[in-house]
Amino acid sequence: MALGGETSRHGMWSSRWMFVLAAAGSAVGLGNIWRFPFIAGDNGGGAFILVYLLCIFLIGIPIMMAEVLMGREVRKSPINTLRKLVTVSKASPAWILIGWMGVAAGFFILSFYAVIAGWAMDYVLVTAQGTFVGVTGEGAAAVFNSFLESPLQLMLWQTLFMVLTVWIVARGVSGGLELAIRVLMPLLFILLIVMLGYAVTTGGFGQAAEFMFRFEWERMGVEGVLAAMGQAFFTLSLGMGAIMAYGAYVPNNASVPGTVTIIALLDTVVAIAAGLVIFSIVFANGLEPGQGPGLMFITLPLAFGQMPLGTLFGTVFFVLVSFAAVTSAISLLEPALAFLVEEYNAVRSRVAISLGVITWILGLGTVFSFNIWADVHLVGERTFFDLLDFLTNNIMLPLGGLLMGLFVGWVLPRKLLADQLEMPSLWLNIWLFLVRFVAPLGVLTVFVYTLYRAAMG
């Protein structure tokens, strides 16, 4: 029995496939194409990627199932979903904090996400103008660095991206969103395959594969394990309620384990493909894999500058990355938005605009991190952007996942879980083991290990 009834007041996905596309749209984004390669590069490749994959399969997939089932059970915003679940299972209201922390994490993430997505939008124009034809590694780096130096340019694109996101979110669940995802996601996939075909011809492909899949633990630093876990949460959109919010709109006839597995696999395939493409270019051109956030914006232009029809492919590619970012960004806003609409009976579009303005202001901190505040260091060697990224991805998301695992595994009645998941009892027990023990202890172990290593120097 679904506590919240058959449908959500915010709308419903028109089919289970629409849910798969929407959740995959949320999962596949800058996290796969921009963040995964650069974080993997910064942390030495192979061993990092192994830990990342383990986190996806042992922690990410089970927690994603937990988020979807909670959302579908109550069919409200994450905060109200938790409220209801706490009431029916007579648990402590403290669990509702998971929802509040998620709303905060969503704001923080979206604030920098919009800035980076703005870079991709700018690169649509820059690439279309033929800037990268025959460019060298230094040339591509120079283009990128001079772009970063201009706060006004970054703000312009950040603003455009926020307007686009708010506009789509304001229109509601079905509307334009479904259409955009249906057309653009497959296109992005095809273009990645084209790029992969190019990567094989660069001569750097073998080295890229070796960099990514040879597990040398010595290459991974102290924070590598934590970074891998954070990336797993980030790329699957887990730990802050985005997937829970989307779960509220899932029709009852969809299989939670089935859809979640497809979503996670799609996301993983895209990340690995993007990694292979980017590292092939890195090694073919004698570049450094550990270049930080600029990695994608320096390597891909090199490829587009060399390959036949590169200007065309490059332009289309950055268009698709920008759209992949939009379909992710809307899911960062949805939990807070749905909550405010429920609490105050507010108009969706008004709430969307207000939230967009707040996020935009916070995003200025990230804009300035790459120019006028580049030398302002907070907590260690971190810029404002680095700190926000670390705090959300490496702390808040895994912590949210840990708590969700405990809540679903230990607090919710087994009957509710069994009804939602409809798995044979062996599978149900395996899943329960993962959410009760493996996910929480896994996150906890990584936290403690990192603190311990950091304290030891």
**Considering the rule CB under 6 A, would residue 237 count as an interface residue with ligand TRP?**
yes
**Considering the rule CB under 6 A, would residue 202 count as an interface residue with ligand TRP?**
no
Residues 6+ apart with CB under 8 A from 240: 101, 102, 103, 105, 106, 109, 332, 335, 396, 397, 400
Among 10, 19, 32, 204, binds ligand TRP (CB under 6 A): 32
Residue nearest to ligand TRP (CB): 31
Tokens coding 367? 């804009």
Over the range 152-166, which residues count as b (16 or more CB within 10 Å of their CB) and which as e? ebbbebbebbbebbb
Q: Report how far residue 229's alpha carbon sits from residue 227's, in angstroms, rounded to the nearest whole number.
A: 5
Contact 229, 399 (CB under 8 A): no
Q: What is the nearest approach in angstroms of ligand TRP to the Cβ of residue 185?
A: 13
- Tracing tokens 């089932």 back to the chain, one arrives at 69
Site string for ligand TRP, 315-354 (x = CB under 6 A): -------------x--xx----------------------
**Considering the rule CB under 6 A, would residue 227 count as an interface residue with ligand TRP?**
no
Task: Give the residue with the Cβ less far from ligand TRP, 225 or 263.
Answer: 263
Over the range 346-370, which residues count as b (16 or more CB within 10 Å of their CB) and which as e? eebeebbbebbeebbebbbbbbbbb
Judged by CB under 6 A, which stretch of 48-56, 135-143, 148-156, 229-237 contacts ligand TRP? Answer: 229-237
Site for ligand TRP in 57-116 (CB under 6 A): 109
> Reduced to 3 states, what is the DSSP secondary structure of residue 4?
coil
Judged by CB under 6 A, which stretch of 142-150, 237-245, 251-259, 432-440 contacts ligand TRP? Answer: 237-245
**Considering the rule CB under 6 A, would residue 29 count as an interface residue with ligand TRP?**
yes
Q: What is the nearest approach in angstroms of ligand TRP to the Cβ of residue 126?
A: 22
Q: What residue spans of 129-220 are helical by DSSP H?
A: 137-148, 151-171, 175-201, 205-213
Judged by CB under 6 A, which stretch of 26-34, 131-139, 149-157, 406-414 contacts ligand TRP? Answer: 26-34
**Considering the rule CB under 6 A, would residue 359 count as an interface residue with ligand TRP?**
no
Task: Give the residue with the Cβ less far from ligand TRP, 109 or 199.
Answer: 109
Judged by CB under 6 A, which stretch of 30-38, 64-72, 150-158, 275-283 contacts ligand TRP? Answer: 30-38
Judged by CB under 6 A, which stretch of 230-238, 289-297, 377-385, 405-413 contacts ligand TRP? Answer: 230-238
Tokens coding 119? 């870079």
Among 12, 22, 24, 31, binds ligand TRP (CB under 6 A): 31
Q: What is the nearest approach in angstroms of ligand TRP to the Cβ of residue 231?
A: 9
* DSSP per-residue letters across 282-305: HHHTT--S--GGGHHHHHHHHHHH
Nearest residue to 12 via CA among 72, 70, 80: 72
Q: What is the nearest approach in angstroms of ligand TRP to the Cβ of residue 284?
A: 26
Among 26, 291, 306, 366, binds ligand TRP (CB under 6 A): 26
Q: What is the nearest approach in angstroms of ligand TRP to the Cβ of residue 400?
A: 9
Contact 266, 87 (CB under 8 A): no
Judged by CB under 6 A, the number of residues near ligand TRP is 16
Contact 31, 272 (CB under 8 A): no
Nearest residue to 358 via CA among 383, 336, 385, 389: 336
Task: Give the residue with the Cβ less far from ligand TRP, 310 or 401.
Answer: 401
Nearest residue to 397 via CA among 112, 98, 115: 98
Contact 245, 71 (CB under 8 A): yes
Q: How far is CA 446 from CA 39, 227, 230, 439, in A?
A: 17, 10, 10, 11
Task: Give the residue with the Cβ less far from ligand TRP, 240 or 298.
Answer: 240
**Considering the rule CB under 6 A, would residue 230 count as an interface residue with ligand TRP?**
no
Judged by CB under 6 A, which stretch of 23-31, 276-284, 299-307, 358-366 contacts ligand TRP? Answer: 23-31
Q: What residue spans of 202-255 are helical by DSSP H?
A: 205-213, 224-235, 242-247
Cα Rg of the chain, angstroms: 21
Among 12, 22, 23, 30, binds ligand TRP (CB under 6 A): 30
Residues 417-425: contacts with CB under 8 Å, at least 24 apart: 417/69, 419/1, 420/69, 420/72, 420/73, 420/256, 421/65, 421/69, 421/256, 421/257, 422/255, 422/256, 423/257
**Considering the rule CB under 6 A, would residue 242 count as an interface residue with ligand TRP?**
yes
Site for ligand TRP in 393-452 (CB under 6 A): 397
Among 12, 27, 124, 439, binds ligand TRP (CB under 6 A): 27
Task: Give the residue with the Cβ less far from ligand TRP, 33 or 154.
Answer: 33
Q: How far is CA 334 from CA 10, 340, 355, in A?
A: 10, 10, 10
Task: Give the residue with the Cβ less far from ligand TRP, 237 or 259.
Answer: 237
Binding site for ligand TRP (CB under 6 A): 26-27, 29-32, 109, 234-235, 237, 240, 242, 328, 331-332, 397
